[in-house]
Amino acid sequence: MTPPRIAVLTGAGVSAGSGVPTFRDAAGSLWRQYNPQDLATPEAFQRDPVTVWEFYDWRRQLMADCQPNAAHETLAAMDAVLPDFTLVTQNIDGLHPLAGSKRILYLHGDIWNLRCTSCSYSEVNRQAPLDPLPPICPQCGEMLRPDVVWFGEALDLDILHQASVAFTLADIALVIGTSAVVYPAAQLPLNTLNRGGKLYEFNMERTPLSGLATATFLGPSEETLPRWWDERRQAWGL
Ligand code: APR
């Protein structure tokens, strides 16, 4: 039997079992006196880059010791055996590649990538804490910034297009650990449904997508996803 084409959308919930603080957890813990939504903007970086960098350096330190969980590992296993598979993530924590996933589209960037605010330089950098802070471009001497999408910034159109195509062509969409309220990410799985495909959701609770989903598996995705995959891979002879 030919294995189905699968497109996956992940959000903060897939990393909750790894202890990664979500953006909203970070907000809850009130880093200094700031509302993180006011720091994760291009305007804040322009006004006070040192404070914005200190906030990201703190988040990098919180994420540095986190390890992939069984949900990340299951997605990496699917990537390894399914010929047509795309993982689209809203997460910036880098746990999908750490688990071994290869075909990843990063909708909101990657906190372990730094890029220059002036020239085309970019680098992978896992140092936490960073020294010096803010980091400086070795190519032109200007400041580097975290390669993440801030509030008010556009998503990369090429990545969004590739994600949209993957979900449109998919036989099965998996939506894992996302509140499915942030657009355009939440729209992607509807492309699969609109072409007659199936949508399976994995979350602790019901979301705005649940009413449309073929099935919603309630519970921690580090438990529900490996179970789902074990049953399917046998049926598909994988
Ligand atoms: N397993 C599965 N789902 C979980 C788990 C778990 N162990 N723990 C929590 N969840 C679910 C929650 O029920 C919630 O629906 O994960 C979801 C997390 O939702 P959000 O915090 O809104 O995260 P996300 O959907 O990724 O947010 C999208 O918004 O804050 C911005 O840019 C940020 O990328 C982020 C975007």
Residue 85's pLDDT is: 98
Q: Are 90 and 106 in contact (CB under 8 A)?
A: no
Distance separating alpha carbons of residues 213 and 4, to the nearest angstrom? 17
Measuring CA to CA, how many Å separate 103 from each of 76, 85, 86, 198?
9, 7, 6, 21
**Average of per-residue pLDDT across 31-40:** 80
Tell me which residue of 127, 94, 121 sits closest to 108, measured CA to CA: 94
Is 161 inside any structural domain? Answer: yes
User: Could you tell me the residue range of the domain that residue 101 belongs to?
Assistant: 6-19+68-108+155-235
Residue nearest to atom 6 of ligand 1 (CA): 220
The answer to whether position 86 is within a domain reads yes
Task: Based on the fold, state whether residues 74 and 175 are members of the same structural domain.
Answer: yes
215: burial class by Cβ within 10 Å (0-12, 13-18, 19+)?
exposed
**Strand ranges (DSSP E) for 5-161?**
6-10, 85-89, 104-106, 109-116, 122-124, 144-148
* Structure confidence at residue 23 (pLDDT): 66
Q: Are residues 129 and 53 in the same domain?
A: yes
Which atom belonging to ligand 1 lies closest to the Cα atom of 40?
32
- Could you tell me if 115 and 145 are in contact, meaning their C-beta atoms sit under 8 angstroms apart? yes
d(CA 176, CA 204): 10
- The answer to whether 161 is a known catalytic residue is no
Residue 38 belongs to a domain with what CATH number? 3.30.1600.10
Say whether both 119 and 226 belong to one domain: no
Domain edge (last residue) among 96, 121, 148: 148
- Residue 1 belongs to some domain of the structure: no
pLDDT at res. 30: 62
Same domain, 227 and 180: yes
Q: Residue 221 Cα, ligand 1 centroid: separation in angstroms?
A: 11
Nearest CA to ligand 1 atom 10: 13
Taking CA atoms, 185 is separated from 37, 51, 135, 180, in Å, by 19, 29, 30, 7
Q: Are residues 48 and 86 in the same domain?
A: no
Q: CA–CA separation, 145 vs 134, rounded Å?
A: 8
Q: Where a domain ends, among 148, 168, 203?
A: 148
One domain, residues 59 and 76: no
Please, are residues 237 and 1 in contact by the beta-carbon 8 Å criterion?
yes
Minimal-distance CA residue to ligand 1 atom 29: 182
- Report the predicted TM-score, pTM, of the whole model to 2 decimal places: 0.95
State percent of the chain over pLDDT 90.
Answer: 86
Tell me which of 88, 123, 148 is where a domain ends: 148
For the cut 80, the answer to whether the pLDDT of residue 28 exceeds it is no
Does residue 72 share a domain with residue 61?
Answer: no
**Residue 200 near residue 221, CB atoms below 8 Å:** no
Instruction: Tell whether 177 and 200 lie within a shared domain.
Output: yes
* Residue 68, ligand 1, Cβ within 6 A: no
Q: Same structural domain for residues 160 and 213? A: yes
For ligand 1, the distance from its centroid to the CA atom of residue 59, given in whole angstroms, is 17
**Tokens representing 236?**
């598909």
Q: How far is the CA of 138 from the centre of ligand 1 (A)?
A: 36
pLDDT value of position 111: 97
Which run of H or E residues covers position 215? strand 215-218
Residues 85, 192 share a domain: yes
Helices (H) then strands (E): counts for the chain = 10, 9
Do both 53 and 165 map to the same domain? no
* Total number of domains in the chain: 2
Q: What is the pLDDT of residue 51?
A: 94
User: Are both 52 and 72 inside the same structural domain?
Assistant: no
User: How far is C-alpha 12 from the geometric centre of its chain's CA atoms?
Assistant: 7
176 residue type, one letter: I
Ligand 1 binding pocket includes 17 (Cβ within 6 Å): yes
CATH number at residue 216: 3.40.50.1220
- Is the Cβ atom of 22 under 6 angstroms away from ligand 1? yes
Statement: residue 29 has pLDDT above 90 = no
Query: Does residue 189 have its Cβ closer than 6 Å to ligand 1?
Result: no
